[in-house]
């Protein structure tokens, strides 16, 4: 979103409400801003969930992140990243945690500037964008941090149920294609691999070029799981960018090539294809938000689903994936029947989606 100085009135975000009432200095006295002029700009906002503010006070610049829920787990992650040397100078760096207010559900972190991977592609530096994403993935593979909930194929399949419902509501034709794709993903869950620190929403806009290094921002949905999940989301977001900006398709291809070259010994290509397909399904489902639809939203969503289907068909080769009847996630017959039934001829009900989530979670917990 474009930055604005207008702060929304959102009672679900106590920190934002406090800043609207008494300003940043009054709401967060630990920052010791004293009487210095403070400039505040809204940089990101999800109603009822979270908001990100850019704050300038004299020569200081930082981000205030206000949440509906307690962000203590994210604060713990920032502290863990600092403990392993990823705050400050270095080839990989994360924003420092400056302070937190658990009562207000607020985190304050240092501001890291620099072009995003999307902006690098736009400036025809696609190879650099892919290299930076690969650098982070290689770093994540070596980190000893074990914080965060498990993430993986089970979560993506659960999300697929919701995404089918959203696409079906937007257009019945899209819903039919999405349902077929989701069934394919459900029947061909990837093999379990080592759990690594995952960003969870590793979009190209979250990867920053620091000149002599890379930074990754917005860690709200972090967890533990296969690196292919993050890599698949990054590749899905740049593919969508190339779809929207056809003259830059070559730069997108160079970014993909650089990421794959930099992670050749880390990623299983067909497991990666599965996660790319699941990520593209998620991106396609965004058309359910009517006010955010682009003019060509129907054709765009159809193209995303077509690419996802192509990748899913590549991923189903037997030497790279395990059928759910084999011990990939050890889902029992009832779980598989419920999931496929909910994705067959009608949208899943909220109750079915919740039951699917529980069954997938149980299967994940039993997996080796």
Per-residue pLDDT at 1? 47
DSSP helix/strand/coil, 331: coil
Does 249 have pLDDT greater than 90?
A: yes
What the block records as the tokens of 146 is 């074990």
pLDDT, tens digit, 9 for 90 and up, residues 205-234: 999 999 999 999 999 999 999 999 999 999
Q: Is 236 left (phi over 0), alpha (psi -120 to 50) or beta?
A: alpha
pTM score, two decimals? 0.87
| Integer Cα distance of 335 and 331 in angstroms | 6
Best-predicted range by mean pLDDT among 1-10, 43-52, 189-198, 337-346?
Answer: 43-52
Q: 259-277, pLDDT tens digit by residue? A: 999 999 999 999 999 999 9
DSSP letters along 195-232, please?
Answer: -EEE-SS--GGGEEE-SSSEEE---TT-EEE-HHHHHH
Does residue 354 have a pLDDT over 90?
no
Percent of the chain with pLDDT over 70: 84
- Minimal CA–CA distance to 312: which of 351, 333, 347, 284? 284
d(CA 139, CA 130): 14
pLDDT for residue 336: 53
pLDDT digit string (tens) for 106-118?
999 999 989 999 9
Mind spelling out the 3-state secondary structure of 268-307?
CHHHHHHHHHHHHHHHHHHHHCHHHCCCCHHHHHHHHHHH
């Amino acid at each position: 979103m474009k930055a604005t100085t207008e702060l929304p009135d959102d009672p679900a975000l106590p920190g934002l409400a406090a800043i609207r009432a008494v300003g940043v200095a009054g709401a967060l006295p630990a920052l010791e801003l004293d009487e210095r002029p403070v400039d505040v700009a809204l940089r990101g906002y999800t109603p009822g969930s979270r908001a990100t503010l850019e704050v300038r006070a004299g020569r200081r610049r930082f981000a205030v992140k206000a949440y509906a829920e307690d962000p203590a787990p994210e604060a713990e992650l920032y502290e863990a990243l600092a403990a392993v040397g990823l705050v400050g100078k270095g080839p990989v760096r994360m924003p420092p945690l400056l302070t937190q207010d658990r009562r207000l559900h607020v985190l304050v972190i240092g501001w890291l500037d620099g072009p995003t991977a999307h902006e690098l592609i736009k400036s025809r530096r696609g190879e650099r964008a892919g290299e930076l994403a690969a650098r982070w993935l290689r770093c994540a593979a070596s980190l000893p941090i074990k914080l965060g909930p498990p993430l993986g194929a089970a979560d993506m399949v659960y999300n697929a149920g919701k995404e089918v419902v959203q696409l079906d509501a937007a257009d019945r034709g899209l819903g039919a294609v999405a349902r077929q794709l989701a069934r394919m993903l459900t029947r061909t869950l990837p093999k379990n691999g080592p759990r690594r620190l995952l960003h969870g929403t590793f979009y190209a806009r979250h990867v920053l070029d620091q000149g002599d290094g890379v930074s990754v921002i917005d860690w709200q949905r972090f967890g533990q799981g296969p690196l292919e999940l993050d890599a698949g989301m990054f590749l899905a977001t740049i593919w969508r960018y190339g779809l929207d900006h056809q003259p830059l398709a070559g730069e997108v291809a160079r970014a993909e090539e650089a990421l794959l070259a930099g992670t050749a010994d880390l990623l299983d290509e067909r497991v990666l294809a599965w996660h790319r397909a699941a990520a593209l399904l998620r991106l396609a489902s965004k058309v359910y938000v009517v006010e955010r639809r682009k003019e060509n939203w129907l054709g765009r969503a159809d193209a995303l689903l077509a690419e996802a289907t192509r990748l899913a068909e590549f991923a189903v080769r037997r030497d790279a994936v395990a059928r759910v009847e084999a011990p990939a996630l050890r889902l029992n017959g009832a779980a598989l029947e419920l999931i496929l039934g909910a994705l067959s001829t009608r949208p899943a009900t909220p109750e079915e989606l919740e039951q699917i989530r529980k069954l997938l979670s149980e299967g994940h917990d039993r997996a080796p």
